[in-house]
Structure 1
Amino acid sequence: MNRRLVLPGLVLAALALAGCDSTTTGTANPVASNAPDTATQGSGSGNGAPKVSNPLNPAKLKADACSVLTSLQRSSLGVEDGTPRTTSAGTTCAWVYRDDETRSSRVDIAADPNTDGLAGIYDLYAKGGKDQYEYWEPTEVSGYPAVYAATKDFRAQGQCKLLVGVTDTQAVQVFAQIGNGPGATDPCPQTLKVAEAMVQTLKEG
């Protein structure tokens, strides 16, 4: 059944998942090294936010968000090639699930614009956000600190947001909206699978 999906409030800048059909063009800059840029290192402290013990290099994500899911991963996840988008939050990528003929099921990945990584997100939560978030569930993604969080809980309507700390100053937002199938009422497992694939790609450089 095709559902009309409404984006939940985001932790920071809206990703503009729907209504923006423009795509970015050009050639992404290659990643020179898998070693993290020293500019991305930080304290990782801030209202309980865990430190990232093995930082990843987010350059690939920032240069070309669609490159963080390989062809093999896309096949395994059941998604089409990604569509790049440019929003106020930066460069994002959206992948549509192939088995949904209504094309109402997709997942988006973007580098979160908060320069304090998960620490900044935890700060927002501690400064009154805990009274506004309808779900806030710390977790891990392939050994990296993460949190499921949104100001509105639309998980039963197929939406799930997961923020993953890849360095102490860089978090990655993975957002799924599933219109059909089992994920339409339980989307977070699919969000987690995509986040795990993204982390694996960044590990490999």
Structure 2
Amino acid sequence: MTNLLSNVHEGAEVQFSSGNINLVSGNYEYYHYLCDGFDDRGWGCGYRTLQTLCSWMNDNFQQNVEVPSIRKIQEILVELEDKPRSFLGSRQWIGSFEVCLVIDKLYDIPCKIVHVNKGDNLSTIVETLKTHFEKFGSPIMMGGDVDCSSKGIMGIHVDKSEASLLIVDPHFVGKDLTKEFLQNKGWVKWQPLRDFLSSSFYNLCLPQAKSKTII
């Protein structure tokens, strides 16, 4: 396994001079396409975001569980009878519901699924996301239908009527990373809610596990 960067969102908040920011609490590793030598380009973003969430679980909650490989994730979903055996070794993507199932299986931690009918309605869950980071501090997985690519959410910024999400994008392919490179190239970025696709629905998976740094 290639050494993975940790906490790639750090420093991104300095671009804001006003408003309120709520961030992930605790450590995680950044999983992305090909990070372990397995070529999952074009379909593995949900698995990689799940692995990022699992790395946070290992550091903050239960350290005796290994971050599952893509193959292991598929095996768990078949074992839970969520997927048929033909799913093993396939390139089928997974979404927030599957992420919820795997986290519950590995860590005995429930996840809250939040559904947004279309991007225009993302503003309705701003308070839900703020409360999640305040209460739990765990990272969030986000997926959609038209904008079907999975991404991690590591924070939320709210300034008056404007809100932005801190996105950690697993679609990067490459090595020799730095946090500064990822942020400069937009793989880690603040994305205003208005920039999400209005025609897409979004599902978010909010692990109900509390960071060890939150009392």
TM-score norm. by structure 2 comes to 0.30
* Greater fraction of residues in helix: 2
* Greater fraction of residues in strand: 1
TM-score norm. by structure 1 comes to 0.31
Relative contact order, higher structure (CA 8 A, sep 6+): 2
